[in-house]
Amino acid sequence: MTDSQVPMRHEVDEKFTWNSNSVFPSAAHWQAEYINIEKTLAEIQKIQGKLGVGPVEMYDGLQEIFEFKQRMEQCFVYAQLGLSVDTMDQVAAARVNQALGLYGQVQASIAFVGPEIINIGQEKLDQWLKMDPRLAVFSHYFDDLFRNQAHVRSAEVEQLLGSLEDTFSGPRLTFSMITDSDFKFPPAITDSGRKLEFTQGTVGEIMGSEDRLARQTTWENRGDVYLAFKNTLASNLSTSLKQNVYKMRVRGYESSLSMALHEDYVPAKVFDNLIKVFRENLPIWHKYWSVRRRALNLDDLHPYDIWAPLSSERQVVSYQQAVEWICEALAPLGGEYVAVMRKGCLEERWVDVYPNQGKRSGAFSWGVQGTHPFIVMNYTNDVLSLGTLAHELGHSMHSYLSWKSQPAVYADYSLFVAEVASNFHQAMLRAYLLEQNPGAALEIAIIEEAMANFHRYFLVMPTLARFELETHRRLERGAGLTADGMIDLLADLFSEGYGEEMNLDRRRVGISWAYFGHLYTDYYVYQYATGISGAHALAERVLSRQKNAESDYLNFLKAGGSAYPLDALKIAGVDLSRPEPIEETYATLSKLVDRLEFLTAE
């Protein structure tokens, strides 16, 4: 794909762009709401000191605060999505900076809530719950506050921490602006000698092509640009990690990992189980690399061969076809579920579909209660894009049902459960497509999509989790982080997963920590692996027609943040405090490798 084939943002057909007007009719309306929120800050701060007056004041105050917070979040979504689809838009960048500043002001203005409720005391709150039944909606919220009591600081300190949100968002925004907007990559070279321009949004398409030289030069040129800025990128990520360590110490946790796990009420054994099972199952990956090398008829395998197609018959899947297949695959969840999803994709413009110049790499689903659950992606008419769309729609349907079913206080679900719904969609889609007797070429493509997803979730993300743990530990004990040290660390970790079959490009593999904005949300990456494990366990319940499997799953989606993550998953029928779901999902991975070996041998 050449640069000229990747349109500028203004050249994209509006029907394939996210429906920004559904959030605010225009940028002017956004600006007016921004000003109104600023004016309302003073009114919100007047609630301070009144929550303890009585149950009526408590209920009214909390309702007002959560509604106000929702307004701020809608402003933030509009600004951030506008920048995500065109990182070269300076007006959008300025709007994001405004929104970040507003976010910090709002967080500071409501920081008194936790300390004030804790000062009231559990005993008095229990009495108030009996006096005013309306307060019952906040029962889980109160329980979580008192669970965190030891780590909640005074109102003044909480206000300071809230006001730092804007400043602390700097490294993440800097990462996006550098890598999505400022980076310009030298062209790749095809087997025929043609120069091939590429952007962050089209890297995946080239890496999935048959042209090996194009894959190699794309991989190398992309890596070399990141390596040229290794010190800046390392300093930026190190700053983000230091911020997390700072918050850990202010809140009195023994480690940054314990702080992250405590937030979701997840025991340490969940993280430990994942890393243990991951390392025990590395031989599955070693076998897969061997199967892939032989299928590609290569003497040696390189990282740029990971996504090379194993069949010469390219499977073209239009966006419209993808939507229909996904809807058919999710039919077991009911007609209403499917109708909402189809309408979101084809009428309400939930999805910003195709690549354009300046669009950020990858894909994500995002929104807040009161907006659509939007998706930003780079659809390229292939099976991998089909899987990505299914994945992001899983997130979006989770959000849709959570927002529809829960009050504002529980509208958002935990990151720990976020990757379950997305991978559930992919598991259901693969099962549906394979049942259609697709033929060898399409079956190989479907398994390749599965392997690409497993590669990300069951190799890359656990490896990044180990990297993240070690970099945090170094900072916690006072050691410094350098670009070369971080590159060597990640190269060593990836060498375990690649084994002897992969010709490891240590520098370019080692810098790949700089590809992942996920690392700016501390201890997010391990949850990809636990999420895919929970997803496959729940999909198996539905596919094997276990009693109440569909309703249990839908009730899990509707639960939002009204229950602790592990408890919410138990509603659906899986216990991620145990290693068995992870082990069983690795068994599924092993079967896919065996089937691929058989198909490619034929």
**455's tokens:** 């590669």
Give the integer Cα–Cα distance in Å for 354 and 359. Answer: 9
- Among residues 73, 116, 263, 392, the one annotated as catalytic is 392
From residue 133, how far is each of 128, 129, 240 by CA, in Å? 8, 6, 43
Q: What is the largest CA-CA distance in the chain?
A: 78
Q: What is the rounded CA–CA span in Å between residue 389 and residue 376? A: 10
Based on the number of CB atoms within 10 Å of its own CB, is 350 exposed (0-12), middle (13-18) or buried (19 or more)?
A: buried
Q: How many residues does the chain have?
A: 602
| Spatial distance between the Cα atoms of 389 and 386, rounded to a whole number of angstroms | 5
- DSSP, collapsed to helix, strand or coil, labels residue 157 as helix
What are the φ and ψ backbone dihedral angles of 359, each rounded to 5 degrees? -70, 140
Q: How many CB atoms lie within 10 A of CB 518?
A: 16
Cβ neighbour number for residue 170 with a 10 Å cutoff? 15
Of 182, 218, 216, nearest to 1 (Cα)? Answer: 218
- Residues 184, 229 contacting (CB under 8 angstroms): no
Residues 6+ apart with CB under 8 A from 482: 234
Token pair listed for 556: 């899990």
CB 426 within 8 Å of CB 390:
yes
| Cα-based distances in Å from 208 to 68, 116, 365, 384, 495 | 45, 55, 23, 9, 22
Distance CA 560, CA 292 (A): 40
Catalytic (active site) residue 470: no
Q: Are 78 and 30 spatial neighbours (Cβ–Cβ below 8 Å)? A: yes
CA distance 120 to 180: 47
* Alpha-carbon distances of 451 from 404, 420, 458, rounded to whole Å: 34, 17, 10
Cβ-defined contacts of 124-131 (< 8 Å, 24+): 128/54, 128/55, 128/58, 129/55, 131/55
Residues classed as catalytic? 392
